[in-house]
Amino acid sequence: MNKNTNLIATIASVVLCGCPGLFLCLFGAITATGNGTFNDGALSPTVGIGLVCAALILIVIPVAVWFFTRPKPGSGGGQPPVPPTSG
């Protein structure tokens, strides 16, 4: 994959997984402390812990996409080596 494709994949994973994961983590943390409600009914703290775990998985996905699509050290950025000049 080239550099632009890597960047697009990373940005897309942040928008589609990272941002919802952060909001889900916030909602899960509020619910885990016993302050979460849904349709005027209190949610169990167990639900909040489950939401935080799901959120952590969503947050890890963009990090993994970045890690696996970043340029490898010593790859030269995809440029062919420059031949030595004679003379």
Q: Where are the domains of the chain?
A: 3-69
pLDDT above 70 covers what percent of the chain?
89
pLDDT above 90 covers what percent of the chain?
61
Of the candidates 19, 83, 79, 61, which has an alpha carbon nearest to the alpha carbon of residue 27? 19
Separation between Cα atoms, residue 51 and residue 28, nearest integer Å: 5
pLDDT 10s digits, 13-55: 999 999 999 999 999 999 999 888 888 888 889 999 999 999 9
